[in-house]
Structure formats: C-alpha cells, structure tokens
Structure 1
C-alpha cells in the first residue's frame, strides 16, 4: 500500500504546483506583459481615482448624461458578479413592459424628439454589462444632453465623434460609443 501512496502523493503535489501555481503565474505574467490595461481591469481614472472600467457599463439616469443599454443583472444594474441577459423571449410580457418603460423614460426626458428610438436604448445586451451604445443611440440623445447641460449641439456632437470607437480590425462589429468615457468627456468641458 505504501508503494502506491507515495507516487500518488508525489503526482498530486507535482500537478498542484504545475496547475495551481506555475500555470496561473505564467498566464498572469504574460497577460500583464502583453495586455497590462486589460489585466488591471481596463480602469478609467479621474483625478487619480478609478471611476469605472471601459469594459463594464454603468447606470446613468440623469438627463444630463448619455444613457447606456439596459442591464438585466441582479440585484442591481451592471453587476459584474451576475453577468447575464434577461432570457426573455420576444413575446414575453415582461420584455414588452421593460421596453415600454424605457421608451416612456426616453420620451419624458426629451418630449420633442420624434426620431425613431434605436433598439439598443430599449433592450439589454446578452451580458447585461455592455458599456457601449451605437452611434445612432448617442445621436438620438444628443439634443437632450446638450439642452440640459446648456452646451451647443455641435460641441456635444464633437464629443460623440471623439469618443466613437471604430470597428475592431476595421471589419468586426459596428462603430460604438463608450458611455462612461463620453460622459466623463462632457464633465471635463466645465
């Protein structure tokens, strides 16, 4: 029996060191070397303090801010520990209610805006954490944000353009706007 236990314990110890210590250290080290910002959480700093991540959305509800996509995470919006979509189908009344509530909020915040509402302003992303909106969604909110902030529309449009991220590798996805970065850029205009 001792002949079997010693090799088993040695194998267990060796695999623990290899997969539990060496591999995580190697992958973390390579990550920090090749992708330092991402490994640190892609944090965005303001006045030397972290205010969020460029990879996880934040909830903005005041009319002076651009609003992001809805978040279906629980118990609070944009909860990184509970990433996931709502899994509500297109005929589910709860989805219709959520879309209608967002439409009502958008119309109440900007009653003069008669433009069609971009779909990403009334639906949640698959992860519930999406930090981006489409350029169309940003332009839909342009007049409201400019009016509430007392800024010229052209000045706010410049910030949208400056914070628009193009397609990845020139072909993947669509142009998009990071809501947190855009709102921080507007705050910096003061």
Structure 2
C-alpha cells in the first residue's frame, strides 16, 4: 500500500511546487523585469498619488470632464444580497449586459442614453460608444468622435476655448496598433488628467 501511495504523494508535492510556486514566481519575475509598468497594473499617478489605471475606466460624472462609454457592471444590492444594482466600472465584476440586438431592454436603454446626452447638451453627434457598453464594462477608451463631440460642453463648463480643448483631444488620440490592429482611441483618464494640467498651467500664468 505504501509503495503505491509514495509515488502519488511525491508527484503531488513535486507538481505543487513546480506549478503552484516555481512557475508563478518565474513568470512574475520575468514580467517585472521585462514589463514592470504593465506587471504592476499600468497605474497612473498625479503628484505622486495613484489616480487610476490606464487599463480600467472610471465613472466621470462632472461636466468639467470627458465621460467614458456606458458601463453595464453591477454590484450586490446592500439591502438585498439576492439582487444587484448598477455599479459602473466595477472592476470586481467585469462583464457586459449580454443583451442581444433584438432586446427591447437594450433598445430602451440606448434610446434613453441618446436622449440624456442630447438633453444635457453634451453632444450634438452620437457616436456608437457614447450609448453602448463594452464587453468588459471597464473599457478605458472612447472613440475620437465621441471625445470630440464632448469638447464643446467640457470647454463651456471650464470656461476654456473650444478649439483649445479639441486640440488637446487630438493630441491624445492613440493610433491603431502597428497601424492595422484595432481602431484609433482616446484614453479618458489620460485625457482628463491632461485637461487638468492644461487648466492649472493657464491659471498659473
């Protein structure tokens, strides 16, 4: 009996050490050496304080900032654990709405988002990502079209020339990867931080 159990126990211990300890440590070490910023979460700092990650969107509500695309992430209802409530950009619960193109709930939500954006006077052109959620619910980027559509409202809220805000957006457009993969995009957090920096620089003059 012992002669049969010993090899099994040895293999369990061996592969636990290899796959549960040695391999993760090796991969972590390689990542820290080769891609330290990405390995540590692609964090963004302002004045030495971490304000977010370039990989995870945030829910900007102020009219003084550019808004990201809608997020369908949820969180447990504090009053009823069997239910959920809307919690935009909840990084602990990444996911989309899973609503199909024929879903009335999806159509109603998109129409409500369009009406809200227009009634608030924030945009005069509706980009697709202005009213639809991403698959992860955490997308940190928006299209240049959506960003530029918000420029007038953001400029008005800050008392800045619209042309200046639009020019700032143009400087933050990230191109396709290798010129062919993906679409041009704007990181909302990076854009809003640049907007704050521009406002501070102007105030200091």
In the superposition, the TM-score normalised over structure 2's length comes to 0.88
Partner Cα distance (2:120, 2:171) in 1: 24
1:26 aligns with 2:35: no
After TM superposition, which residue ranges in structure 1, 4 or more long, deviate above 4 angstroms?
none
Conserved 8 A contact 1:109-1:144: no
Alignment of structure 1 residues 126-141 onto 2, 5 Å: 126-141=135-150
1:108 aligns with 2:110: no
Q: State the Cα RMSD in Å.
A: 1.2
Alignment of structure 1 residues 44-83 onto 2, 5 Å: 44-75=44-75, 76-83=87-94
Which residue pairs with 2:78 in the alignment?
none
Q: 1:154-179 deviations in whole A, cap 9, x for unaligned? A: 21112112211111111111110000
1:95 aligns with 2:96: no
SS state at 2:74 partner: coil
Which residue pairs with 1:10 in the alignment?
10
Alignment of structure 1 residues 140-179 onto 2, 5 Å: 140-179=149-188
Q: Which moved more, 1:31-40 or 1:11-20?
A: 31-40
Give the Å deviation of 1:5: 1.4
State the aligned residue count.
Answer: 188
Give 5+ residue unaligned stretches, structure 2: 76-86, 201-205
- Tell me which protein shows more strand as a share of its residues: 2
Conserved 8 A contact 1:72-1:85: yes
Partner Cα distance (1:53, 1:2) in 2: 53
In the superposition, the TM-score normalised over structure 1's length comes to 0.94
